Amino acid sequence: MEIKGAVALITGAGSGIGRATAQRLSRDGASVAVNDIDEQSARETVRLIERGGGRATPIPADVANDGDVRRMIFGARERFGRLDIVVNNAGVVEAGDTQRVVFPELAPERWMRTLDINVRGVLLGTQHAVDAMREQGGGVIINISSMAGIGTGSHPAPVYAASKAAVVRFSAALAPLARRMNIRVNCICPDWVDTPMVHRTRSEMSPEEWQAMAPAVMTQPEEIAEAVVRIINDDSLAGRVMLCVGPKPWPLAEPSKRTS
């Protein structure tokens, strides 16, 4: 797909990976609908894009809310006339007062909010985007998961890890939409990325704790934006999961055989 002239919607684009992706797609010639639950930060991303000569509109919405997501998709189409690319990026780590309070100490309404944003938000964003895209003959949906959602090891934020695993399986399971509707759904799994989310996590750790889990090299949000562009540009990719570890180009996991 050509990014130049396309219309893209990025959720959680008021910060970090979402903002970098919105700016990159704009630089590559897309008109960008900038979603965030925090209206001010969405407006700031729009300001940055417009300052660079791009076209963008803020769409404040909570991705966990069905009505909000419908309005978000409608708003993007109304503003720019169509919708070609959706990046379901909004996500949170365990939503306690502090990231040190996680499952099982975290109260159910707190971890449910994490699931609502990270899983329900991606499923709603995908479903309503599919409705819009099938009418116009196709599109590309990219869901932002995490390396936390890959594998069978332990993780310090269990609900976050479970939510991201759900995003991986959901995205891969939708591979057949490419054939049925010309809609390619894919997934990106970043490792540590230098964003406010990671800065918050780090601020709650001692230097020793951070040292023990810090990556040798921190990925920059612009590198994830580059991965988004790679997936958009490659029409052969559907139901694929990009693992953002090791040297680039980052590998795409081989689709496994269907199991029960």
Ligand X SMILES: NC(=O)c1ccc[n+]([C@@H]2O[C@H](COP(=O)([O-])OP(=O)(O)OC[C@H]3O[C@@H](n4cnc5c(N)ncnc54)[C@H](O)[C@@H]3O)[C@@H](O)[C@H]2O)c1
Three-state DSSP class for 36? strand
Q: Taking Cα atoms as reference points, which of 245, 233, 211 lies closest to residue 2?
A: 233
Could you tell me which residues come within 8 angstroms of residue 33 by beta carbon, excluding any fewer than 6 positions away? 7, 8, 9, 10, 56, 57, 59, 72, 75, 76, 79, 80, 83
Tokens 């936390």 correspond to what residue? 148
Could you tell me which residues come within 8 angstroms of residue 230 by beta carbon, excluding any fewer than 6 positions away? 249
**What's phi and psi for 211, nearest 5 deg?**
-55, -35
Q: How far apart are CA 19 and CA 12, in angstroms?
A: 8
Interacting stretch for ligand X, rule CB under 6 A, among 23-31, 87-95, 132-140, 231-239?
87-95
Least CB distance to ligand X at residue 174 (A)? 18
Interacting stretch for ligand X, rule CB under 6 A, among 47-55, 132-140, 187-195, 235-243?
187-195
Structure-block tokens of residue 65? 């809310």
94: contact with ligand X by CB under 6 A? no
80: contact with ligand X by CB under 6 A? no
Least CB distance to ligand X at residue 259 (A)? 26
* x-or-dash string of contact with ligand X, 188-227, rule CB under 6 A: --x-xx-xxxx-----------------------------
Q: Is 233 a catalytic residue?
A: no
Amino acid at residue number 212: A
Least CB distance to ligand X at residue 71 (A)? 12
Interacting stretch for ligand X, rule CB under 6 A, among 33-41, 131-139, 178-186, 234-242?
33-41
16: contact with ligand X by CB under 6 A? yes
Is residue 170 within 8 Å of residue 123, measured between CB atoms? yes
- Binders of ligand X in range 110-139 (CB under 6 A): 117, 121
Please spell the DSSP secondary structure of 172-215, one letter per residue.
HHTTTHHHHHSEEEEEEEE-SB-SHHHHHHHHTS-HHHHHHH--
* x-or-dash string of contact with ligand X, 140-169, rule CB under 6 A: ----x-x-----------------------
Interacting stretch for ligand X, rule CB under 6 A, among 26-34, 56-64, 169-177, 232-240?
56-64
Which residues sit at the interface with ligand X, rule CB under 6 A?
11-12, 14-18, 35-38, 41, 62-64, 89-92, 117, 121, 144, 146, 190, 192-193, 195-198
Catalytic residues: 160
